[in-house]
Amino acid sequence: MRTPVWPKNWLGLVLNKAEVQSYSQNIIEWPKGRLDFSDGCLVMGVLNVTPDSFSDGGEFFAPDKAVEHGLQMAAGGAAIIDVGGESTRPGSASVSADEQIRRVVPVIEALCKKTNVPVSIDTYKFEVAQAALDAGAAMINDITALSDERVGELAVERRLPVVLMHMQGTPATMQNEPKYDDVVGEVLEFLLDRAKRAGKLGISNDMIFIDPGIGFGKTTEHNLSLLNNIAKFVATGYRVLVGTSRKRFIGQITGKEKPAERIFGTAATVALCAAAGVSIVRVHDVADMVDVVKVINKLNPDFPD
């Protein structure tokens, strides 16, 4: 395999491909889905079926509008559509499992009938995950990194991928003065521990994605440190998912108060992540970010091989 040439001015270092991740198997397949990383980074579309999302203010709360938007993301090049029925914005309150199920199941069922793009369920609640998978979802995105091991056992039973994210505190408390001695080291240690636990449950390494949890219990400085060191997460051998889209730290840097106006700031972080070997970027503006990753993937012709 050839050694990838990555811009030092973006990452600050150049890693040998063997130090980063084995790309001998660029395609992962499971009963309800398939992801092909042969060309590099893929895009996950965010579909919030909530009345209080920070990014869209409930624009897609109605099931018909949510389905329409999900199909638009699929047409725009999304490799996965991530459906969530509970806002996890800073300060948000928990939503019951029954209410989440009421919100997401009709949308998941409709999407699975109308598109072949895999649907992911964004939840940490076992009952919601189970109902979503029964409705056709093919992946679990858990912001608590399988704090409820039953969710992991469900993933083993259904033979599907999981996303393990780091969060300090809960959505209601996470931005109340988050503190770390070493944010990169502590987040990385947590994710490796949770990934190993997932492995012990029976989830294979190729079905585990780790997510540093940008904006979840982190200050702007913490978020920037994690992004500047994202190559260290890629170097673990686990595939990495990163969600920076429209987040507050981008607004603080750019001065854009409205989340929908943070598209170019988001694009910069997406480009950085794609160049670093991140496998999936989770975004709201799918078609635009698909263009970003397409260009970055071509600018790194030796990565993947």
Enumerate the active-site residues.
247, 282
Write down the residue that tokens 């649907």 correspond to: 119
CA angle 82, 273, 299 (to 5 degrees): 115
Largest CA distance in the chain: 51
- Give the total residue count for the chain: 305
Give the C-alpha separation, 34 to 38, whole Å: 12
DSSP three-state, residue 95? coil
**DSSP 8-state secondary structure symbol assigned to residue 67:** H
Q: Which two tokens stand for residue 133?
A: 């998978």
Among residues 110, 82, 86, the alpha carbon closest in space to that of 98 is found at 86
Residue with tokens 């931005």: 175
Cα 157 to Cα 30, 31, 133, 215, 278: the distances in Å are 12, 11, 11, 31, 27
Rounded Cα distance between 289 and 121, Å, is: 21
